[in-house]
């Protein structure tokens, strides 16, 4: 019995193995990044509706994050289709799943999606170095009507890698201070303008016996890094300086200590496991006086369906430290083109349309802070935000720093290394310098390894 089946099994397995070796010899082909010269047709696509529809009938795939920008763009897609004849298939995913899906598809050399949302500061450098994105310099500069120079310099700076334009910025954000107007009024405290004033105010309003905590912010290891960055910059420090890691300088340690002790002594219990949903959750339940985080999250504090203190929340510019008020002012999301896309010109037509002045005005009116200066300058460009927030945004953008995390390739690892310092402070570590030194060494190692990529 066994004898008769054995050759069967043998041939079958051999066939399978042969198939897998043929199919699986990796997808890393030694191609250098080509700079594609856009055809003249691409530039004519979105702007001249004078019957020129060179891509009519083409379909491109767009992958977005679950984001209000995607919600604002989706209803406008039929307009794009009418104008150009290009059909856009769009899929949306939660942040982490977006990265997962893009990673799997790009690793496999897939031609889809043609265009996608990405986080320039989190994955921009890596995606570029991996050859996954198509440099857009030539596309962006071809059409004068597109007015590439209208994009703010810092926004473009964050989507530029190795002097090449990796993507077009679509969403910007800054770190601000959220506070309880009623509590400050009752205690006769002015809105803090410096970190020292903030610490004093937090201490004064901290009343745990009555379930009122002075301060809350992100305490989870990796999420906190972007929010502690403003503390760093305002003390005159930074994650890196050129090729060196600088998270153990006296200024840096002071910044980390401020943030860490605020969370240790004046935050609700459990802050060690908090990212923004939990931090805003407790703030919205009226149990905290101050919160520092991104301005893009304001709905969680002032929407009556979400917050019990909706009408009592005030916005303020991030308090200044030794170096003044230096919150981050970054591009959180950009649009990029798949380097292996089969419809590059048509895809550019879409990107051009989606980031054109008209469309940016429309999306910004739905509350999506874009990167075009002209749109911010228009009065109708700011109607999408609460009136009180607009001056804060403009003020924060002025002195803002264009990154909120280490500007390395291995951002994930770097964030985990930096976050440890604050987490150690939060669990009561008093001698923080050795921890900072060790973390700095870890960050330096990551930076050195990145150099070889």
Quickly list DSSP for 294-356.
EGGGTHHHH-TTT-TTGGGEEEEEPPBBTTB---BEEEEEEEEEBTT-S-HHHHHHHHHHHTS
Nearer to other proteins among residue 154 and residue 300 (C-beta): 300
Query: Which single residue is written with the structure tokens 């919160």?
Result: 291
DSSP 8-state assignment for residue 318: P
Minimum distance between the CB of residue 280 and other proteins, rounded to whole angstroms?
9
Minimum distance between the CB of residue 281 and other proteins, rounded to whole angstroms?
5
Minimum distance between the CB of residue 389 and other proteins, rounded to whole angstroms?
13
Minimum distance between the CB of residue 41 and other proteins, rounded to whole angstroms?
27
Nearer to other proteins among residue 13 and residue 241 (C-beta): 13
**Residue count (the chain):** 453
Minimum distance between the CB of residue 188 and other proteins, rounded to whole angstroms?
27
Minimum distance between the CB of residue 307 and other proteins, rounded to whole angstroms?
6
What backbone torsions phi and psi does residue 289 show, to the nearest 5 degrees? -90, -40
Helix (H) or strand (E) holding 252: helix 250-266
Minimum distance between the CB of residue 251 and other proteins, rounded to whole angstroms?
25
Nearer to other proteins among residue 153 and residue 453 (C-beta): 453
Nearer to other proteins among residue 89 and residue 383 (C-beta): 89
From the list 350, 358, 344, the residue with the least C-alpha distance to 45 is: 350
Nearer to other proteins among residue 95 and residue 147 (C-beta): 95
Minimum distance between the CB of residue 184 and other proteins, rounded to whole angstroms?
21
Euclidean distance between CA atoms 24 and 385, whole angstroms: 50
Euclidean distance between CA atoms 162 and 125, whole angstroms: 9
Q: Which pair of structure tokens corresponds to residue 109?
A: 């050399």
Euclidean distance between CA atoms 238 and 154, whole angstroms: 17
Please provide the distance, in angstroms rounded to a whole number, between the alpha carbons at the two ends of the chain.
Answer: 56
Residues facing residue 372 across a β-bridge:
151
Q: Please name the residues in contact with 193: beta carbons below 8 A apart, sequence gap of 6 or more.
A: 317, 319, 320, 325
Nearer to other proteins among residue 34 and residue 380 (C-beta): 34
Nearer to other proteins among residue 156 and residue 339 (C-beta): 339
Helix (H) or strand (E) holding 290: strand 288-294
Nearer to other proteins among residue 95 and residue 380 (C-beta): 95
Q: Which pair of structure tokens corresponds to residue 182?
A: 């009623």
For the four alpha carbons of 47, 78, 173 and 381, in that order, the dihedral sign comes to: positive
Euclidean distance between CA atoms 437 and 295, whole angstroms: 32
Quickly list DSSP for 16-32.
HHHHHHHHHS-S---PP
Nearer to other proteins among residue 194 and residue 423 (C-beta): 423
Minimum distance between the CB of residue 67 and other proteins, rounded to whole angstroms?
4
């Amino acid at each position: 019995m066994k004898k008769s089946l054995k050759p069967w099994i043998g041939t079958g397995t051999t066939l399978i193995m042969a198939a897998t070796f043929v199919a699986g010899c990796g997808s890393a082909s030694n191609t250098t990044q080509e700079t594609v010269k856009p055809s003249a047709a691409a530039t004519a696509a979105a702007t001249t509706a004078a019957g020129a529809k060179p891509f009519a009938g083409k379909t491109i795939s767009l992958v977005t994050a679950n984001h209000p920008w995607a919600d604002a763009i989706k209803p406008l897609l039929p307009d794009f289709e009418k104008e150009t004849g290009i059909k856009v298939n769009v899929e949306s995913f939660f942040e982490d799943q977006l990265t997962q899906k893009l990673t799997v598809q790009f690793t496999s050399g897939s031609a889809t999606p043609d265009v996608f949302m990405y986080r320039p500061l989190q994955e921009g450098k890596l995606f570029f170095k991996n050859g996954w994105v198509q440099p857009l310099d030539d596309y962006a500069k071809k059409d004068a009507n597109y007015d590439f120079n209208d994009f703010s310099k810092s926004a473009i700076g964050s989507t530029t890698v190795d002097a090449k334009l990796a993507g077009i910025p679509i969403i910007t954000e800054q770190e601000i201070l959220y506070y309880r107007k009623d509590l400050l009024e009752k205690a006769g405290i002015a809105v803090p303008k410096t970190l020292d004033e903030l610490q004093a105010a937090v201490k004064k309003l901290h009343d745990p016996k009555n379930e009122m905590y002075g301060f809350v912010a992100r305490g989870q290891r990796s999420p906190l890094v972007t929010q502690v960055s403003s503390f760093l910059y305002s003390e005159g420090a930074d994650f890196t300086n050129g090729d060196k890691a600088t998270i153990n300088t006296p200024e840096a340690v002071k910044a980390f200590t401020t943030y860490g002790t605020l969370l240790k002594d004046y935050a609700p219990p459990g802050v060690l496991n908090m990212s923004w949903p939990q931090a805003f959750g407790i703030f919205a339940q009226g149990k905290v006086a101050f919160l520092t985080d991104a301005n893009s999250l304001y709905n969680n504090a002032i929407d009556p369906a979400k917050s019990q203190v909706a009408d009592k929340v005030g916005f303020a510019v991030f308090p200044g430290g030794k170096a003044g008020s230096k919150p981050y002012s970054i591009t959180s999301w950009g649009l990029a083109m798949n380097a292996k896309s089969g419809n590059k010109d048509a895809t550019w037509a879409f990107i051009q349309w989606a980031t054109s002045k008209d469309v940016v005005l429309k999306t910004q009116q739905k509350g999506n802070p874009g990167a075009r200066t002209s749109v911010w300058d228009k009065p109708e460009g700011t109607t999408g935000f609460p009136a009180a927030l607009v001056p804060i945004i403009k003020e924060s953008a002025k002195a803002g720093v264009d990154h909120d995390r280490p500007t390395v390739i291995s951002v994930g690892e770097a964030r985990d290394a930096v976050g440890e310092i604050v987490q150690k402070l939060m669990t009561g570590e008093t001698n923080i310098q050795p921890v900072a030194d060790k973390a700095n060494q870890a960050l330096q190692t990551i930076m050195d390894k990145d150099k070889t990529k």
